[in-house]
Chains A and B, each alone.
Chain A
Amino acid sequence: MNLFGLAIGFIALAIIGLGFFWVIRGEYYFGVLWWPYILGFGLLLILSSLFIASVWGSALLGIVGASLAWGSTELKDQSRRAELGWYPVNQKPKPQPPLANKIKKLKAPNL
């Protein structure tokens, strides 16, 4: 019996569940333009998991990184949901990320 997969699967589900929360809050306070930084941070976590010898540490870092990468692709849909009135819209101006003008020219990923 190998309980590792079952346990890490449960934890993955919880981390993905947190994604629902931070995507909604993140879009509300920061906006869709921050997506390249969230995607980059997620990929950085996955990359750094290669250098973690601990089984649990490496697996958790990979899952958190993948969940952040997925969430970055959800921000566009979330901003549409807010525009459509399905979620509250933040009337305050959103902080602009570095290189905001360049990011505006990119197509936000949406899988």
Chain B
Amino acid sequence: MELNWLGVIAALATFLSIWLGHVGVRKIEARSPTIWLPTMIVLALGLAFEIGALLTSSIGLSAALGITGMILLWDALEFSRQQKRVQKGHAPANPKNLRHARILATYPSATTIDWLNRQPGNNSLTPKIDDPSSQENIR
């Protein structure tokens, strides 16, 4: 019997796009001076992928572009959501980024600590800091 690879293509597009967005949004939001610029670039990229999905006659390519494009469009929204997490202290602020430095000065809940970067069951609320240079920035 002939194997149908469309499911594997769809699975790879889904998993890899989520992974890329999950890591990429955090890294870019932490470094970018503004959030509107990455938002606009990723929005345009997502729309371009969807146009590509419409124009191709290949069903596999259409699925891969369609899925990746939709996840990119979601990622465009995530830049704003990520900034809110930084304001709440649920994601670490990067003091070298002027926008984040302003957040640290304005929002008492903002912190440079990455609370998620630990194993479950480690309940002490004094975090282990790997980078000694970040010690001075703990609030």
In the docked arrangement, what's the CA distance between A37 and B120, Å? Answer: 19
Q: Write out the residue numbers on chain B whose beta carbons fall within 8 Å of the beta carbon of A66.
A: 10-12, 14-15, 18
- Say whether A5 contacts B116, CB under 8 Å: no
Grouping DSSP codes into helix (H, G, I), strand (E, B) and loop, the A interface class, with mixed when no group exceeds half, is: helix
Q: Write out the residue numbers on chain A whose beta carbons fall within 8 Å of the beta carbon of B7.
A: 46, 49-50, 52, 58-62, 65
Count contacts between A and B, CB distance < 8 Å: 141
Chain B proximity of A93: nearest CB distance (Å): 15
Q: Write out the residue numbers on chain A whose beta carbons fall within 8 Å of the beta carbon of B118.
A: 80
How many chain B residues touch A (CB < 8 A): the figure is 45
In the docked arrangement, what's the CA distance between A93 and B19, Å? Answer: 31
For chain A, give the interface size range.
35 or more
Assuming A13-B74, A76-B120, A111-B22, is B65 touching A5 (CB within 8 A)? yes
Instruction: Say yes or no for B90: interface residue by CB 8 A criterion.
Output: yes
- Say whether A8 contacts B67, CB under 8 Å: yes
Q: Write out the residue numbers on chain A whose beta carbons fall within 8 Å of the beta carbon of B67.
A: 5, 8-9, 12, 63
In the docked arrangement, what's the CA distance between A89 and B90, Å? Answer: 17
By a beta-carbon cutoff of 8 Å, the part of chain B in contact with chain A is 1, 3-15, 18-19, 22-23, 50, 53-57, 59, 61-71, 74, 90, 115-116, 118-121, 123
